[in-house]
């Protein structure tokens, strides 16, 4: 396991500090694999501008976790607005019911986190948990972190895409570290890695990144 699971939700992310990047190329890369278990880091050329983010993740992980995990890179530089936020809306947990670890970074309009005084439990079901998270988290308290700071999330961290007062270009980066393949149809392909996986259809509701496979 990469991290110990607690079953209680509403913890804060860990702030790993500033990474001062200023992406300008419009892009949409979704869960692109950049490392396989016991394999070398292999980053597509267009994503190498985010190597400082990946390097900070590598520093934060144990040698074993890095060596034995799949590592995926999501990078989006998009025109966003309140109606087109660039990520799925709604309160949720990344890596829900797994020991996956996710690291998120944005250059502006930071992710909104729910940080209650007391942690709570949610149904251990991808569909049933979503209205529960929405009901508990929407009332706050909420927190955002400084722009361009890398934040570490496990499944206990509940968050959502922020509200956008004005349309703008926004860059968002996520590094996902997992023991599992992410085989959903539509995920970005790294043509330099041998990822000949059986692919799984995406769900209409919020997806389990493994497609229910382990």
pLDDT per position as a tens digit, 166-202: 999 999 999 999 999 999 999 999 999 988 899 898 8
Pairing of strands 70-80, 101-106: unpaired
The model scores a pTM over 0.75 = yes
Q: Mean pLDDT over residues 133-139, rounded? A: 96
Strand locations in 83-185 (E): 92-93, 101-106, 112-114, 142-143, 149-153, 158-160, 168-178
Residue 104's pLDDT band, with cuts at 50, 70 and 90, is very high
Question: What's the pLDDT at 208?
Answer: 77
> What share of the chain has pLDDT > 70, as a percent?
94
- Whether pLDDT at 2 is above 60: no
- Per-residue pLDDT tens over the stretch 49-95: 999 999 999 999 999 999 999 999 999 999 999 999 998 889 999 99
Among residues of the chain, what percentage have pLDDT more than 90? 84
What's the rounded mean pLDDT across residues 18-44? 97
Could you tell me the pLDDT band of residue 212, with boundaries at 50, 70 and 90?
A: low
| Nearest-angstrom CA–CA distance, 153 and 145 | 13
111 pLDDT more than 70: yes
Q: At 66, phi and psi to the nearest 5?
A: -65, -45
Q: Among candidates 119, 114, 72, which has minimal Cα distance to 93?
A: 114
Average pLDDT of the chain is 93
pLDDT on residue 213: 54
Kind plus residue range of the DSSP H or E element containing 170: strand 168-178
Q: Decide the pairing of beta strands 70-80 and 168-178.
A: antiparallel
């Amino acid at each position: 396991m990469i991290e110990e699971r607690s079953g209680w939700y509403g913890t804060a992310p860990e702030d790993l500090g500033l990474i001062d990047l200023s992406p300008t190329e419009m892009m949409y890369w979704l869960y692109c694999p950049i490392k396989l278990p016991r394999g070398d880091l292999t980053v597509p050329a267009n994503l190498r501008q985010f190597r400082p983010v990946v390097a900070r993740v590598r520093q934060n992980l144990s040698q074993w976790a890095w060596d034995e995990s799949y590592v995926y890179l999501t990078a989006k530089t998009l025109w966003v607005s309140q109606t087109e936020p660039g990520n799925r809306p709604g309160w949720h947990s990344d890596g829900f019911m797994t020991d996956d670890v996710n690291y998120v970074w944005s250059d502006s309009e930071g992710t909104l986190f729910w940080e209650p005084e007391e942690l709570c439990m949610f149904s251990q079901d991808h569909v049933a948990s979503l209205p529960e998270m929405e009901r508990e988290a929407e009332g706050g308290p909420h927190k955002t972190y400084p722009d361009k700071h890398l934040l570490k999330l496990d499944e206990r961290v509940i968050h959502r895409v922020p509200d956008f007062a004005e349309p703008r270009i926004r860059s968002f980066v996520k590094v996902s570290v997992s023991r599992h393949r992410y085989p959903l149809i539509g995920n970005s392909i790294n043509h330099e890695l041998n990822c000949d996986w059986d692919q799984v259809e995406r769900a209409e509701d919020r997806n389990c990144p493994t497609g229910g496979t382990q």
